[in-house]
Amino acid sequence: MTTTVSQISVWGNGLALRLTKPMAKAAGIAEGTAVRVIAKPGRIVIEAETEPTLEDMLAAFDPKRHGGELMAFEPVGAEVIG
């Protein structure tokens, strides 16, 4: 999760929030990405409309963080193929 403090600015007749490149990258979004904006009192939630593709997930995979043996013990029982 990436957190930052930002500021709302005037843009034309509306207001805008600028996303930094690291924020956009952490969210997996780019120019043209469809988003859902949910507004509640004191809160704005922005969600990407699309799920990341397998290619996106593999590109974000970090072996140092996510790698390693899933089961650190020897197989026992029916899963042993002999």
* Mean pLDDT value across residues 77-81: 69
**pLDDT (0 to 100) of residue 16:** 94
Residue 11: phi and psi, rounded to 5, are -140, 105
Assess contact for 12 and 33: CB atoms under 8 A: no
Check residues 33 and 74 and name the one with the higher pLDDT: 33
**pLDDT (0 to 100) of residue 72:** 67
DSSP structure class, residue 33: -
Q: Does the pLDDT of residue 51 top 90, yes or no?
A: no
Domains of the chain plus CATH, in order, are 8-79 (2.10.260)
* Mean pLDDT value across residues 27-35: 89
pTM tops 0.75, yes or no: no
* Mean pLDDT value across residues 9-30: 91
